[in-house]
């Protein structure tokens, strides 16, 4: 409810959160568990990272660390956090400088520029260290610069403890048995998982990482195609004690599932949402999970991936269509 009792938000920040959940039906045929997706594609800027874009800026303001019109915000991003920060920076009056690997989708670049962000690209072959080095270089050269540090910032998991976890608990009327979330920074699974386990210690919390970069399972970092998760490091904000298990999913599995979610469930989602669905279904097939409710976080919508490998086959078809 907005000002004067009207159901009109004061500004777009009041639209963050309260995303819906929906059962998956056709892609889970034969699975004995009930699997629901929390659709973070319904955020104002179409991803779960809208939550931390808001929380990290508001938290830094409350602590007197940044000032609109003066501070220049700097951050590393795979795109979605950058977009969450960019729309907030536009609202609040901050200049924003972002660093992103060059392998991430063209749509991300265009959206960031549309919000007025200054974008710097790094060579993907240099990995996350290349991104870190570039961000530090920019920070050192920027007067009044402030690095938001999503991988270390406590405001990241805190917003999921305050909002995402409670939304899942209320939306399921406390009947949720398991949470499944991809691990990028680890903020979502840490914050929401902590809240849910405090409500019911029997709830299982599962992380998801690419099989090609399964560092949380003791593997080596490596290249993969699941944009937004699997950074190749164990993030500082991730509380590994929250995790009951980390499920590995291949890029091919995630991509194919994201395509099937569009074709069979009417859900146009990104590759990391496909990964979350694959992991949830793997867990749901286990005999001990028959009849249980598994909630999977779908982090973003599919339109941000139109130029990526997810839709390569359709883009080529669309580009070569003929007039009848």
Catalytic positions: 49, 272
Separation between Cα atoms, residue 199 and residue 119, nearest integer Å: 41
Nearest to 232 by CA among 321, 127, 118, 104: 127
Return the structure tokens found at 163.
């909002």
Cβ neighbourhood burial of 287 (10 Å; 0-12, 13-18, 19+) = exposed
Neighbours of 194 (CB within 10 A): 19
Asked if 267 contacts 298 with a C-beta cutoff of 8 angstroms, the reply is yes
The H or E element containing residue 97 is strand 95-101
Please give the backbone phi and psi of residue 309, each rounded to the nearest 5 degrees, phi first. -60, -25
Nearest to 67 by CA among 144, 155, 149: 144
Nearest to 319 by CA among 170, 113, 311, 100: 311
The H or E element containing residue 292 is none
3-state helix, strand, coil split of the chain in percent (to 5) is 45, 15, 35
Task: Classify the C-alpha dihedral 36-188-128-111 as positive or negative.
Answer: positive
Instruction: Identify the residue whose tokens are 């990995």.
Output: 127
Separation between Cα atoms, residue 205 and residue 55, nearest integer Å: 23
Return the structure tokens found at 43.
């955020």
Asked if 280 contacts 294 with a C-beta cutoff of 8 angstroms, the reply is yes
């Amino acid at each position: 409810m907005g000002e004067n009792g009207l159901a009109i938000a004061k500004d777009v920040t009041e639209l963050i959160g309260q995303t819906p959940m929906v059962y998956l039906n056709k892609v889970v045929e034969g699975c004995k568990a009930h699997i629901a997706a929390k659709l973070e594609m319904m955020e104002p800027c179409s991803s779960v990272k809208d939550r931390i874009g808001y929380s990290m800026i508001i938290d830094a303001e409350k602590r007197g660390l940044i000032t609109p019109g003066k501070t220049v915000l700097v951050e590393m991003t795979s795109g979605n956090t950058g977009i969450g920060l960019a729309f907030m920076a536009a609202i609040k009056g901050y200049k924003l400088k972002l660093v992103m690997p060059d392998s991430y989708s063209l749509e991300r670049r265009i959206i960031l520029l549309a919000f007025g962000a200054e974008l710097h690209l790094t060579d993907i072959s240099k990995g996350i260290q290349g991104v870190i080095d570039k961000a530090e270089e920019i920070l050192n050269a920027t007067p009044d610069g402030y690095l938001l540090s999503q991988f270390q910032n406590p405001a990241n998991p805190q917003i999921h403890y305050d909002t995402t976890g409670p939304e899942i608990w209320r939306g399921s009327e406390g009947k949720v048995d398991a949470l499944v979330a991809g691990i990028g920074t680890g903020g979502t699974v840490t914050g929401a998982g902590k809240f849910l386990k405090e409500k019911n210690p029997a709830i299982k919390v599962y992380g998801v990482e690419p099989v090609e970069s399964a560092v949380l399972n003791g593997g080596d970092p490596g290249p993969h195609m699941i944009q937004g998760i699997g950074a190749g490091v164990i993030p500082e904000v991730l509380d590994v004690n929250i995790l009951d298990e980390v499920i590995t999913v291949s890029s091919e599995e995630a991509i194919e599932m994201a395509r099937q979610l569009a074709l069979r469930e009417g859900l146009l989602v990104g590759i990391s949402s496909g990964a979350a669905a694959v992991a949830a279904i793997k867990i749901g097939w286990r005999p001990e999970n028959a009849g249980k409710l598994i909630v999977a976080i779908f982090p973003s919508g599919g339109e941000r991936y139109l130029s990526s490998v997810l839709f390569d086959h359709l883009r080529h078809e669309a580009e070569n269509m003929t007039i009848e």
